[in-house]
Amino acid sequence: MQRKFTHLLPVIAVLVIALAVAVTGCKKKMPPEAPPPPPPKVEEVAPPAPDTTGQAAREQQANMDADRARIVTVYFEYDKSEVRADQRDRIATNAEIFRRWTDWRLSIEGNCDERGTVEYNLALGERRAMAAKQALVAAGIEAARVSTVSYGEERPADPGHDETAWAKNRRAEFRAR
């Protein structure tokens, strides 16, 4: 019986080797990879033609003039120099405008009503201008862009001699140049 299996041994060895080669040696052919898409076409854009008509300068000037017209006055209580809570939105409006035009230099003019001495009102006007400046700086405006001046009671907005007129005269006005 041993003989019967001996002559089968070479056949079995060949079959085992063939099976091993078939299992490990045969790979499926993968389909070829698709080529990458071509890069998008970049269209060259010609630089804008120079404005020989001056239209851009006129539009910018119109925008600056419109913003200057939007600058608002801040009002104060009698004998006070703190920015009132109801005036903080006015400071914010002015700060928004002044942030847009970074080359503008600003002047804040402090004013008072006619009550009080000339010296007292000049000092109070200066404190009001400084309070408005500090509020602008807190809103993001560079302090170096802002100067202050006091006119005391010398430049009334309303020449009247009653509380309505006095309320209009207790103010800080903003000028852009």
Overall average pLDDT of the 91-111 stretch? 97
Per-residue model confidence as pLDDT tens digits over 40-89: 777 777 787 787 788 989 999 999 999 999 999 999 999 999 999 999 99
Structural domains in the chain plus CATH codes:
67-176 (3.30.1330.60)
Task: Classify residue 110 by its DSSP letter.
Answer: E
**36-to-16, 31, 33, 40, 152 alpha-carbon distances in Å:** 43, 15, 9, 12, 76
Overall average pLDDT of the 3-21 stretch? 70
Query: What's the residue count for the chain?
Result: 177
pLDDT at site 29: 66
Confidence of residue 161 (pLDDT cuts 50, 70, 90): very high
For the entire predicted model, the pTM comes to: 0.69
End-to-end CA distance of the chain: 119
Overall average pLDDT of the 5-17 stretch? 73
Query: Is residue 108 predicted with pLDDT exceeding 80?
Result: yes
Helix ranges (H only) for the chain are: 2-6, 9-25, 55-70, 88-100, 118-138, 163-169
Overall average pLDDT of the 11-30 stretch? 68
SS3 88: helix
Overall average pLDDT of the 141-147 stretch? 98
Residues 6+ positions from 122 with CB-CB distance below 8 Å: 150, 151, 152
The share of the chain scoring above pLDDT 90, in percent, equals 68
